[in-house]
Amino acid sequence: MRTDLALPVRLSDYRAPDFLIDEVRLDAHLNGSDTRVEAVLSIRRNPAGRPGAPLVLDGDELEPLSVELDGVTQPLGDVARPDRLTLDVAGDGPFELRVVTRLDPAANTKLMGLYRSGSAYCTQCEAEGFRRITYFIDRPDVLSVYTTRIEADVTEAPVLLGNGNLIESGKIENTSRHYAIWQDPWPKPCYLFALVGGDLGVVEDSLVTASGRLVKLGIYVEHGKEDRAGYAMDALKRSMIWDEKAFGREYDLDVFNIVAVSDFNMGAMENKGLNIFNDKYVLALPQTATDIDYAHIEGVIAHEYFHNWTGNRITCRDWFQLCLKEGLTVFRDQEFSSDERSRPVKRIMDVRTLRAAQFPEDAGPLAHNVRPETYLEINNFYTPTVYEKGAEIIRMLKLMIGDDAFRRGMDLYFERCDGTAAVVEDFLSCFAETSGRDLTKFKRWYTQAGTPSLTVKSHYDADAHRFTLDFEQTTAPTPGQPAKEALVIPIALGLITEDGQEMALVTPDAGSPGGASRREAERGVFDLAEPRRQIIFEDVRSRPIPSLLRGFSAPVNVHATTSDDDLLILLAHDSDMFNRWQAAQTCATRWLLRAVKALRAGEPIPQDTRLADALEAVVARFEQDPAFTAQVMLLPTESDIAREISTDVDPDAVHQARKALRRLVGERLSTRLKTVYDALAPARAYSPDAASAGRRALRNAALDLIAAADPEAGGLMAEAQFNAANNMTDQIGALAVLSHIPGNAREAALDSFFRAHAGDALVVDKWFALQATIPERETLARVRRLMTHHAFSATNPNRLRSLIGSFAGGNQTQFNAADGSGYDLVADTVIDVDRKNPQIAARLLASFRSWRSLESKRGALAEAALRRVAGQPELSPDVRDIVERSLRQ
């Protein structure tokens, strides 16, 4: 393991590579622990590099067998170390470097470079995994054309896959081995390299592109699981067609392959023409996958395919520009899913994810810019900030400049930057050109960490028929950034009458006090580019209710003076579906904050039933949009409440407050909920389409609230649903309800579920996760027992995430147990896993990101656990980076 103290990498220190590698010819002999890779590199000096600089190639735990430069053998001891190869070369080249390395893929528990997943050989090279295969200038701005020859025993690995197109294959005479040669004609960085060798089943299909080209499609899975890849193939074909229509992007190779593996550190990888996936984002049957799983498969398949242009054809110059490919591609996959499903519901779900994952990151010690300025370990920056907040920046840009200018900007970006390694400035310049807008201030979203707070005050002058909104933005200091500048915040808004009618937006001219441009008033989108702005609306004949930040037009925290009664009018009448949902969330959050305050003061919880009554009115209209109704009925999570409290958080009080609100809503809506539950009885045949998924989501939400009010009756209903379910969504929904009701029925259902699905790893992951999130004191002991279960493996990332990750991220009361035992469990796991898989260990450790917001006793215990991790003698750079940033002041 690399345990050296890494030096920080800084954006300001960027310099062009001293050498370029135009062509790579790889010959991979897959042969168990004696796997050998021969790399032939065509290298030349970069005119933009340092004259006379030595040739330095990166390595990581490599075993070199031979090195030749232009046919001359080099002394290994002089030029090659496990982590570096250095050669003094004369002239500008081109040079031919031939290197042979020996690998043991089965021993590679880091799952970076070439490793084994089950019996298959596979690779993961982003961000810096290629250097674990051979020596290379391992950085994204070195673009090369790759030809890969793969050789293996035909029995062990009858399937041999590489990047690009297959140009040759055959048997090797007088041996049991065969080979395949793949060539990718498009220059790419080494992080997009991939190969796979194994005994795999395949689902095949094809698609004719808009220009009439035939593309062969293949999804490779373990034998016997071919029937679970059908939905992934359908999602792939829909993604390809959508990208042609929405962005004008056509696929550029003859084949597109996906391989699903069970051991993978991430979700999936967009290697050119050969995507490698965590199998949880490929495999689905109604009996094994939930509606959420189907939606995730659709989204991740689309995301990785869309990378073909936003990430592969145009890559990033350096890893500081990671958001340029990831944030943009998340935006694209969100738009795809919005078009394929319900746009309002998709937006609500995306904002839930943003607030749950990214807002806490922005508020804690791990906060960083969307485009960081420095890093110690790049693997730790595949974060919600880069992905989700990065996507929000693209969404704001599109809203600000309009659909037409945005599309023309994307077209210009593809035209201008195709085949290059780009930076954020390259991207933004295209939109500045097509829109005529100065985006200098807007770029601050990339360079400034933290979630802005938007304070809104309103005043209605009935005599003057004038309504005034005063906006003020502030951003709290974050590590390394004590002072903040004003951002450009697009505020989409509307005005609603008390009887629910939309008002026209009439403002003074732009040059007048409180004025706005005609374009702003017509579109209902107003830019806040300074710390404060006042907007005056004229000819307002009755007191309006402002509908603020429609569609969640910017990733900010809003603090407005809108009353609960006005919010309930918005819930009933706002034309913006997102803000209808947001009105319910805001009312519920206020109720919960009052309840937490009362509980901590030893006082009774105020019994305000207005929210429950308003929710009943929403449920009464459930047939209009069951999916949206289900989202409204999902109350703020314990993490949501803790984030709103922000300091001196008591997780037990938060849990009790939410439990009380669920019980109140369940009691007040009992009859209505049972009517909805019965009305949404499942169809005989399962379909994963959005409408059917919405009906199941609402039915399960109703069951959850029924059980919250009456555990006995709800438990019996859940048992019946569990036993009768013909799909995983309904079965796991019922089991989730039962898991919160202690007793024999729960344990019997859990045992039954495991016995029925013991042979399916992805379903067993659900079994582990469900038990890890039971909010009871005994859960810690349960988790420890499960860690010794024969189905648990600490070397499988999915299994670790399902048990330990779910406990730390989804069980606020027990992870934050008052005696510190939850922190100790996670810290112990991190220390152990770090020796085998530093990436997964670091991600588990990031569950401590909000420890400073806890009440003092818990905060001290969390800090002690972090310091114990920090004190370990041989930490990986991954974990050391996270723990040191978590503890910094």
Active site residues per annotation: 304
Written as one letter, the residue type at 640 is D
**Rounded (to 5) percent helix, strand, coil in the chain:** 45, 20, 35
What is the per-residue DSSP string for 9-70?
EEGGG----SEEEEEEEEEEE--GGGEEEEEEEEEEE-TTS-TT--EEEE-SS-EEEEEEET
Structure tokens at 208: 């004719």
Handedness of CA 389, 879, 320, 185 (dihedral sign): negative
Helices 690-709 and 651-668 pack at an angle, to 10 degrees, of 100
Strand residue runs (E) in 402-516: 421-422, 453-461, 466-474, 489-492, 494-496
d(CA 386, CA 206): 34
d(CA 809, CA 639): 9
d(CA 720, CA 728): 14
User: Sheet containing 255-261: which strands, arranged edge to edge?
Assistant: 201-208, 214-221, 255-261, 274-278, 268-269
Q: Partners of 149 in the beta sheet?
A: 27, 181
> Minimal CA–CA distance to 142: which of 89, 194, 187, 199?
187
User: Sheet containing 35-45: which strands, arranged edge to edge?
Assistant: 72-73, 63-69, 95-103, 35-45, 19-29, 144-153, 177-188, 165-171
Q: Partners of 25 in the beta sheet?
A: 40, 147
Task: List the helix and strand counts (H, then E) for the chain.
Answer: 32, 32
Structure tokens at 303: 């995301």
d(CA 346, CA 354): 12
> Minimal CA–CA distance to 360: which of 173, 555, 529?
555
Whole-angstrom CA distances from 595 to 208, 390, 479, 810, 866 are 59, 35, 32, 21, 31
d(CA 621, CA 174): 73
Q: What's the chain's length in residues?
A: 889
Q: What is the DSSP letter of 11?
A: G
Structure tokens at 791: 């189905």
Written as one letter, the residue type at 788 is T
- Specify the 3-state DSSP secondary structure of 618: helix
At residue 351, what are phi and psi to the nearest 5 degrees?
-70, -35
How many CA atoms lie within 13 Å of 406's alpha carbon, on the beta-carbon side? 16
- Quick one: 377 exposed, middle or buried, by C-beta within 10 A (0-12, 13-18, 19+)? buried
3-class secondary structure per residue, 645-692: HCCCECHHHHHHHHHHHHHHHHHHCHHHHHHHHHHCCCCCCCCCCHHH
d(CA 611, CA 615): 6
- Is the preceding omega at residue 583 within 30 degrees of 0, hence cis? no
Q: Are 96 and 167 in contact (CB under 8 A)?
A: no
Structure tokens at 141: 């701005």
d(CA 116, CA 114): 7
d(CA 572, CA 498): 11
Q: Are 21 and 131 in contact (CB under 8 A)?
A: no
